């Protein structure tokens, strides 16, 4: 895996300007991982995108090694605060779809996520942008969370959760979503690069734009990176008791940068 030099420059700039030690009180991770023994990576048919966190409101929930030959840990699931609200971002939507939702630990994680997202509200309501998996919706309904489809980016009054697995580039829609979160709502965000990758397969050579949703995520200290990897037989689990390497190595981002640009060559021995 080799990253474009322009992306390396962007990541270096972000981490140089915004890197802060995660000294804030961390409350999300214990609740989200309650009763969760481990979380699998999706199978090799699913691309997993990575996330950066760069302020003290963001919390690293689960990381993964990019590859067995490139054991660099990067975020796959992260949360943050924005105003009175919360954001949970996923590098892949596989954890919110039927195949992995049948895994007991993933099921427990998503159940915990709903508890975290609802935050004690009575008769919670979730708005769905474009689409959500039927098993995911069934689990929400079991938790007495009513759901509706968001039309024309109009978020209904008394909505507690927004589920989004596509990109938003419209300025007014982004503004409405930011207002929703800052006012106390919870955003469940799946990397839009998943859908971008499908479009690229259909139309090879199409330009890849930075997702519009990054404008909102960045205000909460999260950045969705166009850097994907796949799980494998030897790299099949998320790591829930470690930080991403760019935080574990502190200011030693050049070490990670050089590793990404020049991956180690496997020994013949």
Domain positions in the chain are: 5-261
Contact call for residues 140 and 147 (beta carbons, < 8 A):
yes
Quote the CA–CA distance of 58 and 88 in Å, as a whole number: 10
Quote the CA–CA distance of 238 and 20 in Å, as a whole number: 24
Which tens digits make up the pLDDT trace of 254-265? 444 444 444 433
Beta strands 85-90 and 186-190, pairing class:
parallel
The full length of the chain comes to 269
Quote the CA–CA distance of 92 and 50 in Å, as a whole number: 9
Which tens digits make up the pLDDT trace of 83-129? 999 999 999 999 999 999 999 999 999 999 999 999 888 899 999 99
End-to-end CA distance of the chain: 22
Q: What is the mean pLDDT of residues 122-149?
A: 95
Quote the CA–CA distance of 168 and 74 in Å, as a whole number: 24
Which tens digits make up the pLDDT trace of 41-60? 998 888 999 999 988 899 99
Contact call for residues 240 and 60 (beta carbons, < 8 A):
no
A 10 A CB-CB count for 212 gives: 15
């Amino acid at each position: 895996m080799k990253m474009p030099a322009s992306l390396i420059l962007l990541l270096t700039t972000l981490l140089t300007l915004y890197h802060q030690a995660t000294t804030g009180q961390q409350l999300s991770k214990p609740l989200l991982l309650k009763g969760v023994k481990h979380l699998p990576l999706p199978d090799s048919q699913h691309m997993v995108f990575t996330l950066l966190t760069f302020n003290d409101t963001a919390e690293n929930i689960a990381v993964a090694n990019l590859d067995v030959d490139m054991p660099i840990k990067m975020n796959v699931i992260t949360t943050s605060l924005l105003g009175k609200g919360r954001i949970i971002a996923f590098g892949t939507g596989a954890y919110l779809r039927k195949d992995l939702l049948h895994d007991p630990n993933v099921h427990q994680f998503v159940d915990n996520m709903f508890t975290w997202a609802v935050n004690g509200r009575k008769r919670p309501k979730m708005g769905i942008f474009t689409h959500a998996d039927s098993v995911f919706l069934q689990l929400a309904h079991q938790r007495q969370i009513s759901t509706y489809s968001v039309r024309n980016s109009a978020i209904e009054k008394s909505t507690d959760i927004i589920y989004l697995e596509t990109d938003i580039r419209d300025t007014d829609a982004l503004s409405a979503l930011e207002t929703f979160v800052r006012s106390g709502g919870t955003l469940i965000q799946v990397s839009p690069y998943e859908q971008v990758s499908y479009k690229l397969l259909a139309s090879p050579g199409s330009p890849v734009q930075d997702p519009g949703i990054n404008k909102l995520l960045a205000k909460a200290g999260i950045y969705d990176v166009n850097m994907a990897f796949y799980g494998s037989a030897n790299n099949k689990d998320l790591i829930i008791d470690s930080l991403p390497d760019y935080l574990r190595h502190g200011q030693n981002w050049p070490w990670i940068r050089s590793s990404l640009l020049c991956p180690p060559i496997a020994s013949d021995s």
